[in-house]
Amino acid sequence: MLYASGVHQQKPTAYQPPDPKPLQPAEGLGALHLFYRINLPAWRAQSESERKHALAGLESLVEAARAEPKSTVVTLSMLARADLGFMILMPDLQQLNALEKKIAAALGPNVLVPEYAYLSLTERSEYTQKEEDYALELEQEQKIRRGTPESEAKLAEFRERIALYRHDRLYPSLPPWEYFCFYPMSKRRAPGQNWYALDFEARRKLMGGHMRVGRTFAGRVRQLVTGSTGTADWEWGVSLFAHDPADIKAIVYEMRFDEVSHTYAEFGPFFNGLPMPLRDIYQRLLLA
């Protein structure tokens, strides 16, 4: 069914697709996770010169994408569920789509076999603490009255901190850390466990506790949550970076005890990988 508002009846015309002009979200970036299996028989069926050309071509694709403003490409040697992975952030979904297709074909016919793909967008958190709430917290917990120089100084620090946090959610700088984990998740809508039946203040309070658990891993785990309502079967994609895989295990375990997770969260498949240059991945996958 098509919905229209204020549209006059017009004589039907033949559909013409729009030209592929830049397509950028109002804010934030497109986020694409791609995980592949390697079909080694198809790879080895190519000549040596074809294989060398293909490997160089994929490297050139990745480097060209990394050179684009606000774009990031993480290349991954995957563990268990896949062989080769990419996490890509780009502001233009036309470029993101073109890169996706070029990567899929880069190593030759039937070499990269899709295992899992996930499209989402970087987004703000609707549960970020508001200035009014922080000012009230200062009064109630630290006994700092509003309007005093001490209060104004703390509020100025708060504004700067929140501005940086919001920018980092929309335009993140991903760390070159040694371990990576990705999983999708949604909030439950079951009777008695319907996240969306809760009012905003109840959800904000629950998320505040959830985020406090996450902050205990500051410096050990870098988390990026991207929104996928309308772009994937799940509602969010969670990307985690760490130096130590035990910290990934620990944060996921600790979060399971929080009410947001144990009562309202559903989790999809987990994909783990090791960020590294493509040339090292080629050696590991026996491609070079």
Q: Which residues are catalytic?
A: 183
Instruction: Determine the Cα–Cα distance for residues 228 and 84; give it in Å rounded to an integer.
Output: 23
- Whole-angstrom CA distances from 250 to 13, 226, 247 are 58, 21, 5
Place of tokens 């203040």: 201
Query: 143 in the Ramachandran plot: left (φ > 0), alpha (ψ -120 to 50) or beta?
Result: left
10 Å CB burial of residue 28 (0-12, 13-18, 19+) is: buried
- Residue 180's closest CA among 234, 223, 117, 210? 223
* Cβ-contact 222, 173 below 8 angstroms: no
- Residue 247's closest CA among 185, 186, 178? 178
| Eight-class DSSP state of 117 | E
Work out the end-to-end distance of the chain between its first and last CA atoms, rounded to an integer number of angstroms: 52
- Whole-angstrom CA distances from 192 to 125, 210, 211, 262, 263 are 24, 20, 23, 13, 9
